[in-house]
Chains A and B, each alone.
Chain A
Amino acid sequence: MSMKPEGKKRIWAEYQKEIPDDHFFYVRSCIRQTFFAGSEQYFLKILREDLGKDVFEDPRHTTCTGIGYHGDVVPFETIQAVVARHFALATEAGYKHIAISCVTSFGIYSEILETWKHFPETLERTREDLFKATGRTFEVPETISHTSDIIYKFRDEIARKAKYNLVDIATGRPLRVVEHIGCHYSKMFPKYGVGGAEFPHVLVGMVESWGGDVIDYPERRHCCGFGFRQYLVQANRGYSLFASRKKFESMEPYRPDMIIANCPGCTMFMDRWQYTINEIDGITYGADGQGIPVLTYEEVAGLVLGYDPWEMGLQYHNVQSMPLLQKMGIRADPARRFLAKDGTRLPEPANLING
């Protein structure tokens, strides 16, 4: 693939957002805590233990109602107030930097900040609303970062501590990695995303400093197909599957080893739809029909740092990662994937991909 990297570097240079170094106010993601609880936990673990950062989580914070907002049942005024409430909690705890686990939330936070900037009256109205409803007041935070921004910022530090690299140890070949950026990360407000909207650098940066090769394929920018109501309502799910399938077929010729995503929905759907397509059409994507494992950036970071994949929850993807782990030279006993609290083995689920 002949492409001029200097061109991309130029663009990345133009979109360098400010990512704070420490003291984050952490807000969770409804989807991630439900489906990939491990990822959120390991984000905190990596930041606190490996990087020694201060990340504060207030148990009183709630959903941002983002899925409701983009499902069109929650008005803009309402979500502004809910987000403002989180700002209030941050203010109360003395934090100025928000670390957002969810890309939908991140998009909403940026949309709200932009709206407040261009239409100050909306900020005022939100202050009133929030005060009226909860008696809380808030300061507009100095920065908002998506948690992938933060991992990106410390990617080289992680690389220095790396126990494993994104390399096929058997051949020494860098792993071919497809990066998928959640649409709401930077498509709405390019300057809020590392590297902008067209060539986001946030995941590319991680993959490259951890030894992998990034694949640029025709449908790279295409949406995974979550589409909110398009997945939430059963009758519409064809839309969602259709979009993911389009991406798989576009990346297929490059024989990718894995997909890394920074968006809750994308991580879930690109994994779930691989299973569904397999069930419907009997098609399995990826090298030698092993499917293409879809990992969160925390999971990848965790692997690089040598954490136990099963403790991070890699087994809770329909596409299992054993072949990938093997390539990276990570020893992880498949038998220990599904364990009960007391450490006893649970019955294994049937027809996982590379079960």
Chain B
Amino acid sequence: MMSEGRANKFGFAISRSRLIDYDATDRKVREYVTLREPSFRLCFACGGCTATCTAGQHTSFNLRRMNTYIRRGEIEPLREEVTRCMLCGKCLLVCPRGVNTRNVVAVAAEAIRKLGRNEL
């Protein structure tokens, strides 16, 4: 809606919806990631990666939530997020489903950059 953001002449602002509208979101990134790192599918969101994450000790980076967002096609919140990973690889060792977590982040970051340049 064009009216979102700043306060209008009625003295209040209208924020954007936080609803994930699955029929409006775009799952290109998900397809890209799943194609290049099939183990991405295996995540069952236990959160082990997030718990052990080195970057997560310092910032909001949350791989478990990132996977969820990618699956839902909710990319906006990830643009910043993906750049925070240090690729240290701890998550790789704790993942109970053997997801190649580091590559998921790397590929996702790549996909999101490409999305920005309409190369997806």
Contact = CB atoms under 8 A, between A and B. Distances in A.
A350 interface: no
A242 B14 contact: yes
B12 A280 contact: no
Interface size class of B (residues with CB under 8 A): 10 to 19
Contacts of B8: 280
Interface in B1-59: 1-3, 8-15, 17
A1 interface: no
B15 A242 contact: yes
A281 B3 contact: yes
Contacts of B12: 234-238, 241
**Which among B8, B9, B14, B15 has the greatest number of chain A C-beta atoms within 10 A?**
B14
Contacts of B14: 238, 241-242
Contacts of B2: 281
A136 to B, nearest CB: 42
A235 B2 CA distance: 18
A238 B8 CA distance: 10
A276 B15 contact: no
A350 to B, nearest CB: 16
Nearest to B10: A276
Nearest to A282: B2
Interface residues of A, number: 13
Contacts of B9: 279-280
Nearest to B3: A280
Nearest to B1: A281
Interface in A72-100: none
A333 B11 CA distance: 36
B10 A280 contact: yes
A281 B13 CA distance: 13
Contacts of A235: 11-12
A238 B5 CA distance: 10
A240 B103 CA distance: 43
Given A280-B3, A281-B3, A238 B17 contact: no
Nearest to A246: B17
B114 to A, nearest CB: 32
Interface in B53-71: none
A247 to B, nearest CB: 13
Contacts of B1: 245, 281
User: Quick one: which of B10, B11, B13 has the most chain A CB within 10 A?
Assistant: B10
A245 B2 CA distance: 13
A280 B17 CA distance: 17
A235 to B, nearest CB: 6
Contacts of A237: 10-12
Interface string A258-297: 0000000000000000001101110000000000000000
A234 B15 contact: no
A236 B8 CA distance: 12
Interface string B62-101: 0000000000000000000000000000000000000000
A225 B15 CA distance: 14
A277 B3 CA distance: 9
A236 B12 CA distance: 7
A281 B8 CA distance: 10
A232 to B, nearest CB: 12
Given A280-B3, A281-B1, A242 B10 contact: no
A256 to B, nearest CB: 21
9 shortest A-B CB distances, which residue pairs? A238-B14, A237-B12, A280-B3, A238-B12, A234-B11, A281-B3, A280-B8, A238-B13, A234-B12
Given A235-B11, A237-B12, A280-B10, 14 more contacts: A234-B11, A234-B12, A236-B12, A238-B12, A238-B14, A238-B15, A241-B14, A242-B14, A242-B15, A242-B17, A276-B10, A279-B9, A280-B9, A281-B3
22 contacts: A234-B11, A234-B12, A235-B11, A235-B12, A237-B11, A238-B12, A238-B13, A238-B14, A238-B15, A241-B12, A241-B14, A242-B14, A242-B15, A242-B17, A245-B1, A276-B10, A277-B3, A279-B10, A280-B3, A280-B8, A280-B9, A281-B2
